C-alpha cells in the first residue's frame, strides 16, 4: 500500500501541475494573440536593434488589400542591473481594448509616465503597482511609474512595456521589428504574407498566423514536459513491483492457510478471489490516499514552487476525469498484478504444506 500511495501521489501531483500550467498557457495565448497574422524580424531580441523595419512600414502594411488594422511594436533589450539578467523592453500601444495586456490585479494605465511590468520582472525586482522605476532610455534615464503588472509565460526573466510616446520622449526612434495585423473578412493569408515580405525588402522577416503560433507554443510546452509522462510510468511501475513483492511474501507466509481453505472445499478460483479481494481493498485505500496526498503536493507545486522557481503564477486546475482514470488504471493494474502473484496460493504446493502440521 505504501508503494501505491507514493506512486499515485507523484503521478497525481505531476498530472495536476502540468495540466494547470498547460491550461494557463493556453488561456494566456488566447489573450496575447488577438490578431490573425504576425510578422517579426529574424534574430530575436538580441538582434532586434540591428534587424528593424522603417517607421513607414506600418502605414504601408495597413494599405495592403485585405488588412483591416495594424499594430506595430519595437522590441529592445534593456539592462537595469549588471548582476541580473537583461529585461525585454517592448514599445507598443496599451489600452483597455484590443491592445490590452493579460493583467494581474488593478491597473492604472493612463499617463505619460506609465510602465507595465511582467509578472517575472515584478518578482525579480520586487516591483508593485505605484512604484517608480528609473528606466534608461536611449537619450536619457526617465523615471516611470509602474501602472500595471501583466502575466507573461514567454519571458522568464521579465519584460517591460511602455507606450510609443514614452519611447520617443526618451530619445527612441520610430523603427519597429514586430507587427500584428488584423485581416478583413475573406482576405488571403498567403497573399498578404507575400506582400509583407516584399515590403520588408532586404530585412529578413518571418510571418505566422495566430493559430500557428499557438500550436507551436503548446508543442514546445508538451515537448518540455514530456519527461513527466515517463516519470509517471516509472512511478506506477515501481508501485506495482512493490505490490508484487509484498503479495509474494504474504502468499508464501500463508501457504498453510490457503491449503486449509482448499481442504475445506474452496476452489482455486475462490481462493484467488479472496487474495484478489484483499489486495483490491488495500489498493483502493492506497489509491484514495495517494490521490489526496498528490492533490496536496500539487497545491504546493502550483502556488509555492512555481512562483519561487519560475516567477509565474497560475490557477490550480484539477482534471478530475484524468485523475479518476489514473486511479482506476492503477487499481486495475494492481489487482491484475496481485492475481498473477497469488496464482500459487491454491496450488498443490499449498495443499501439501498442510501436511507439515500433521
Report pLDDT digits (tens) over 109-132: 667 788 999 999 999 899 999 899
Position 21 in a domain: yes
Q: In the prediction, which pLDDT does 288 show? A: 93
Q: In the prediction, which pLDDT does 294 show? A: 93
Domain termination site, one of 203, 230, 265: 203
**Confidence check: pLDDT of 95 > 70:** yes
Q: How far apart are CA 204 and CA 29, in angstroms?
A: 25
Residue 157's pLDDT band (cuts 50, 70, 90): confident
Q: In the prediction, which pLDDT does 239 show? A: 79
Structural domain including 229 reads: 2-25+222-357
- Indicate the SS3 state at residue 45: helix
Q: Are residues 78 and 177 in the same domain?
A: yes
**Counted domains in the chain:** 2
Domain termination site, one of 169, 203, 237: 203
Q: In the prediction, which pLDDT does 331 show? A: 86
Q: Are residues 136 and 103 in the same domain?
A: yes
Q: Are strands 114-118 and 178-183 parallel, antiparallel or unpaired?
A: unpaired
Per-residue DSSP letter, 174 = S
Q: Are residues 13 and 64 in the same domain?
A: no
Q: Are residues 57 and 198 in the same domain?
A: yes
Render pLDDT for 194-250 as a digit per residue (tens, 0 to 9): 999 999 888 889 999 999 999 999 999 999 888 888 888 888 888 778 777 777 777
Q: In the prediction, which pLDDT does 159 show? A: 93
Q: Are residues 134 and 196 in the same domain?
A: yes
Residue 182's pLDDT band (cuts 50, 70, 90): very high
The more confidently predicted of residues 210 and 269 is 210
Position 308 in a domain: yes
Render pLDDT for 17-34 as a digit per residue (tens, 0 to 9): 999 999 999 999 988 899
Q: Are residues 63 and 194 in the same domain?
A: yes
Position 212 in a domain: no
C-alpha cell at 147: 501602472
Q: How far apart are CA 336 and CA 190, in angstroms?
A: 55
**Confidence check: pLDDT of 291 > 90:** yes
Position 94 in a domain: yes
Measured in whole angstroms, the distance separating CA 201 from the mean position of its chain's CA atoms is 37
Q: Are residues 254 and 135 in the same domain?
A: no
Q: Are strands 141-150 and 178-183 parallel, antiparallel or unpaired?
A: unpaired
Amino acid at each position: 500500500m505504501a508503494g501505491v500511495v507514493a506512486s499515485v501521489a507523484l503521478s497525481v501531483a505531476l498530472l495536476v501541475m502540468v495540466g494547470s500550467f498547460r491550461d494557463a498557457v493556453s488561456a494566456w495565448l488566447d489573450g496575447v494573440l488577438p490578431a490573425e497574422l504576425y510578422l517579426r524580424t529574424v534574430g530575436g531580441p538580441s538582434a532586434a536593434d540591428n534587424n528593424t523595419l522603417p517607421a513607414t512600414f506600418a502605414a504601408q502594411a495597413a494599405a495592403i488589400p485585405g488588412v483591416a488594422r495594424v499594430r506595430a511594436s519595437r522590441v529592445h533589450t534593456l539592462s537595469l542591473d549588471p548582476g541580473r539578467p537583461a529585461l525585454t523592453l517592448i514599445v507598443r500601444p496599451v489600452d483597455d481594448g484590443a491592445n490590452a495586456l493579460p493583467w494581474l490585479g488593478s491597473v492604472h494605465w493612463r499617463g505619460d509616465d506609465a510602465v507595465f511590468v511582467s509578472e517575472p520582472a515584478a518578482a525579480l525586482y520586487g516591483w508593485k503597482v505605484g512604484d517608480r522605476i528609473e528606466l534608461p532610455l536611449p537619450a536619457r534615464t526617465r523615471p516611470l511609474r509602474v501602472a500595471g503588472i501583466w502575466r507573461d509565460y514567454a519571458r522568464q526573466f521579465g519584460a517591460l512595456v511602455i507606450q510609443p510616446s514614452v519611447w520617443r520622449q526618451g530619445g527612441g526612434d520610430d523603427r519597429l521589428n514586430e507587427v500584428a495585423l488584423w485581416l478583413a473578412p475573406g482576405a488571403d493569408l498567403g497573399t498578404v504574407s507575400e506582400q509583407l515580405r516584399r515590403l520588408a525588402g532586404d530585412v529578413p522577416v518571418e510571418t505566422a498566423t495566430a493559430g500557428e503560433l499557438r500550436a507551436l507554443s503548446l508543442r514546445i510546452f508538451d515537448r518540455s514536459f514530456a519527461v513527466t509522462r515517463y516519470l509517471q510510468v516509472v512511478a506506477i511501475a515501481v508501485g506495482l513491483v512493490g505490490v508484487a513483492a509484498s503479495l509474494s511474501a504474504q502468499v508464501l507466509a500463508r501457504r498453510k492457510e490457503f491449503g486449509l481453505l482448499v481442504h475445506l472445499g474452496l476452489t482455486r478460483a475462490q481462493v484467488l478471489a479472496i487474495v484478489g479481494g484483499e489486495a483490491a481493498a488495500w489498493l483502493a485505500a492506497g489509491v484514495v490516499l495517494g490521490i489526496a496526498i498528490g492533490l496536496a503536493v500539487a497545491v504546493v507545486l502550483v502556488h509555492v514552487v512555481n512562483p519561487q522557481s519560475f516567477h509565474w503564477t497560475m490557477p490550480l486546475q484539477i482534471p478530475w476525469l484524468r485523475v479518476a482514470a489514473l486511479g482506476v488504471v492503477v487499481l486495475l493494474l494492481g489487482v491484475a498484478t496481485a492475481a498473477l502473484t497469488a496464482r500459487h496460493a491454491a496450488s498443490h504446493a499449498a495443499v501439501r504444506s498442510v501436511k507439515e502440521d500433521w
